[in-house]
Amino acid sequence: MSVFINRDTKLVVQGITGRDGSFHASQMVEYGTQVVAGVTPGKGGQTFDPDGKGARGVPVFNTVEAAVTATGANTSVIYVPPAYAADAIMEAASSGVKLVVCITEGVPVLDMTRVYAFVKERGVRLVGPNCPGLISPGQSKVGIIPGRICVPGPVGVVSRSGTLTYEIVYQLTRAGIGQTTCVGIGGDPINGTNFIDCLEAFERDPETKAVALMGEIGGTDEQEAAEYVRTKMKKPVVGFIAGQTAPPGRRMGHAGAIISGSAGTAAEKIEAFEKCGIGVAKRPIDFVELIKARLT
Amino acid sequence: MNLHEYQAKDIFRRHGINTPAGEVVTTPAAAEAAATRAGGPVMVKAQVHAGGRGKAGGVKFCKTPAEAREKATAILGMKIKGLTVEQVLVTPAADIASEAYVGIIVDRARKKPVFMVSAAGGIDIEEVAAKTPEKIRYHGVDVRYGLMPFEALELGFFLYNDARLARAAAKVMQQLYAAFMASGCSLAEVNPLVVTPAGDVVALDGKMVIDDNELERRPDLEALRDVSSENPAEVDARNNNLTFIKLEGNVGCVVNGAGLAMATMDLVKYYGGEPANFLDIGGSSNPDKVVNALRIITADRNVKAILFNIFGGITRTDDVANGIVTALKANPLKVPLVIRLTGTNEEIALKILADNGLEASADMDEAVQQAVKLAAGGKAA
């Protein structure tokens, strides 16, 4: 099993003819994801050829609605420039897909206040923005997580980061520990899916036996997740917080990674983890031993 | 991006908020002239991106133009929290009967703009929140409807019992909300919002923080940036599409991805070192970025060793390797270099490095320990 995406995921790629969209659409096809449609306004009727061999052409549409009607897509992934991303998310949420994954970095936060209300009202799950997407190893990949670092197995992975997630997943894979699903929820202050949404899904998923959670400075999402683990979860969770050496008041790359005044520090998040029974990885490599101990 | 007080007040004024006029000047003579034009007692206020300007001596009351000149002489050039004061705001002094706080932030947990108002104004609102939380009222705004008049009035009555003052405050809140939304803010505050002895409600000081993600589509807001108030290396980095934050340590870090960059800094600390910077070269693999990153880091004289930590996903590690080689050919390093690199095209990258006499580790912990040791003056393992 897996969470959010699986073999039945039928994907529409918004921005499929752009530089990032075309590259990653090809990568997803190669991984085995069912990429059923692409959308680029003005390029409807064209065919996207993911491998240059002409055999696996993906039809391109002008609108997401047309793509969904024609192909039955149930999930969308977005690679469009930041100024258009909010509209792209709302278009997807209006089209009938149930899951929208927004990779785009740099979406203005006030745009996200409108988008968040919009997708919630329609019961659509949004992952991101500013995220690497999801992968259920061996089944489907939606986004940009490198497929070769993942293998199927019992660990659910959820993270606010991209490359740090790759680092830790890679360490787990090298140690022979596979994953059910890896979810990158994104580094922005307002995102569609938070840690608790993922923990809930992993708790329900029969094949997930333990969860690896990678947080960072800024906000209180990790503290709330810790409380959820303490009160609602039976499965073991191991956590890490990036940004212990970050100065207050500075945005550490991710728009959401900022200590405001004295709130959102790594120390307070680690303390919450410890209080709530989450195993604390002091270094990325520590995940391996901590997860191993909880799987036996 | 932080705005200066005078810039925030300009925006307030455009949205109809009653805020004192003022002039921004850069010399004591100009401060005197501005005070003469103001025609009464003035405040001379340092314009720097730092809180606690008053406590640091950067805000002074002046009875006469001559005094304004004298105070401006003292304030211009002074350092507040490490920032040099380049300009002062000369603004008419107001008599104050009471001080309140009105602010809006984008609240991450509630996913909407949230008003914070308090009758305990004029001081640090975090302190009020920590010590006397009951003195603050919070109100989340549904952005689809905006701040409705009845909501603004409720907040107004939380500040003032007097109906006329409550209505005046409610009007300020609607104006502030409009300014906040129109300027792509992540924070806007009036502190203090004062009532004068004559009963006027006036925004005496203001602050605005613009969401950095707005700047690309809003050149009018980008134009408000004061480059002189920023670290020159950080400006250089931003102009080259790098995210760089200078710190005080001696291990220079070049990493791809913000989370991994933070984790790398943390690991430097874990092994007993101190990171010299945060630097994210981002996801795209452009050798120029590496060249610029090395140029910026080596300009910091505190840096005693440089650590690359690259996990190639979208980033192609051969591009990074090419960037390193190009940069070293142009400017040979005076400090030791430790490279950790793994992922996309790593075989090609390792060959490029080896052909140029460079080695790379595949292990993050090993590389960090080595960089820490070298920065401390030790020999490579």
Residue of B nearest to A110 (CA): B184
Q: What is the rounded distance in angstroms from the CA atom of residue B62 to the CA atom of residue B59?
A: 10
**Could you tell me what percent of chain A has a pLDDT over 90?**
91
- Indicate the DSSP class of residue B202: E
Please report the pLDDT score of residue B118 as a whole number.
Answer: 95
User: Letter for the amino acid at A9?
Assistant: T
pLDDT at A155 over 90: yes
Cross-strand pairs, B203: B193
Query: CA angle, corner A213, sides to A209 and A216, nearest 5?
Result: 175
Average pLDDT of every residue of chain A: 96
**Residue A127 and residue A124: Cα distance in Å, rounded?**
10
Q: Is-catalytic flag, B6?
A: no
Contact assignment for B365 to A285 by CB distance below 8 Å: yes
Mark A17-48 as b/e (b = at least 16 C-beta within 10 Å).
bbebbbebbbbbbebebbbbbbbbeeeeebeb
A247 - beta bridge partners? none
Q: Taking residues A180-209, report their average pLDDT.
A: 97
Rg (CA), chain B: 26
Sign of the CA dihedral A194, A197, A203, A204?
A: negative
pLDDT at B257: 93
Query: Can you tell me the distance from the alpha carbon of B202 to that of A199, in angstroms, rounded to the nearest whole number?
Result: 48
Contact state of A261 with B126 under an 8 Å Cβ cutoff: yes
Structure tokens at B356: 């140029």
Which positions ≥6 away from B153 have C-beta within 8 Å?
B166, B167, B170
HSE-CB of A210 using CA atoms within 13 angstroms? 21
Region A32-61 average pLDDT: 95
Alpha helices, H only, A144-243? 163-174, 195-204, 221-232
Find, in chain A, the residue whose alpha carbon is nearest to that of B342.
Answer: A167
* Token couple for B376: 């401390």
Which residues does chain A have within 8 Å of residue B112's beta carbon, measured at their own beta carbons? 113, 116-117
What's the pLDDT tens digit per position in A95-135? Answer: 999 999 999 999 999 999 999 999 999 999 999 999 999 99
**Alpha-carbon torsion B329, B331, B334, B335, what sign?**
negative
Chain A closest-CA separation from residue B302 CA (Å):
17
Least confident window among A2-11, A216-225, B24-33, B49-58: B49-58
**Pairing outcome for strands B136-140 and B112-118:** antiparallel
Chain A interface, mutation test: which of B260, B264, B271, B347, most A Cβ atoms within 10 Å?
A: B260
- Tell me the one-letter amino acid at B27: T
Which own/partner contact pairs does B67-70 have at CB distance under 8 Å and 24+ positions apart? B67/B35, B68/B31, B68/B32, B68/B34, B68/B35, B68/B42, B68/B44, B69/B28, B69/B29, B69/B31, B69/B32, B69/B35, B70/B28
- The active-site residue, picked from B6, B101, B160, B177, is B101
Residues of A within 8 A of B311 (CB-CB) are 163, 166-167, 170
Nearest to B276 by CA among B256, B299, B257, B242: B299
CB atoms B280 and A253 under 8 Å = yes
Mutate to test the interface with B, among A113, A185, A244, A268 (most CBs of B within 10 A): A113
Return phi, psi of residue B102, to 5°. -135, 120
How many Å apart are CA B153 and CA B134, to the nearest integer? 19
The whole-angstrom distance between A14's CA and the closest CA on chain B is 19
Portion 190-229 of B in contact with A at CB < 8 A: 211-214, 216-217
Q: Where are the alpha helices (DSSP H) in chain A?
A: 19-31, 64-71, 82-94, 109-121, 163-174, 195-204, 221-232, 266-275, 286-295
Which chain A positions have a beta carbon within 8 Å of B314's beta carbon?
Answer: 144
Residue B195 neighbours by CB distance under 10 Å? 22
| Cβ–Cβ below 8 Å for B280 and A189 | no
CA-CA distance, B211 to B206, in Å (whole number)?
17
Say if residues B107 and B113 touch (Cβ distance below 8 Å): yes
Query: B313 vs A163: CB contact, 8 Å cut-off?
Result: yes
In order, the DSSP letters of B9-59 are: HHHHHHTT------EEESSHHHHHHHHHHHTS-EEEEE--S-S-TTTTT-E
pLDDT at res. B379? 59
Nearest residue of B to residue A160, measured between CA atoms: B259
**Lookup: tokens for B272:** 């007993």
Residues of chain B with pLDDT under 50: 381
Largest Cα–Cα distance in chain A? 57
Q: For position B284, what pLDDT does the model report?
A: 64
Nearest partner of A268 among A232, A228, A215, judged by Cα = A215
Question: What does the pLDDT read at residue B331?
Answer: 87
Closest residue to A283, CB basis, from B108, B113, B365: B365
Q: How far is B130 from B63, CA to CA, in rounded Å?
A: 36
Q: What is the number of other CB atoms lying within 10 angstroms of the CB of residue A231?
A: 8
Residue A207 reports pLDDT greater than 90: yes
B113 in contact with chain A, both atoms CB, cutoff 8 A: yes
The interface predicted TM-score of the complex, written ipTM, equals 0.94
Find the radius of gyration of the CA atoms of chain A.
19
Which amino acid is located at B338 in the chain?
V
What pLDDT sits at residue A25?
Answer: 96
Q: Which of residues 224-263 of B touch A (CB under 8 A)?
A: 243, 245, 247, 255-263
CB-nearest to B111 from A116, A170, A217 is A116
Asked about B101 being catalytic, the answer comes back as yes
Is the bond leading into A41 cis (omega within 30 degrees of zero)? no
Rounded to the nearest angstrom, the minimum Cα separation between A213 and chain B is 13
pTM for this one? 0.94
Q: How far apart are CA A94 and CA A225, in angstroms?
A: 30
For B59-80, give one letter per residue: b (16+ CB within 10 A) or e.
bbebeebebbbbbbbebbeeeb
Torsion on CA atoms B350, B355, B359, B360, rounded to nearest 10: -20
Identity at B218, one-letter amino acid code: R
Q: What is the DSSP secondary structure assignment for residue B80, as one 8-state letter? A: E
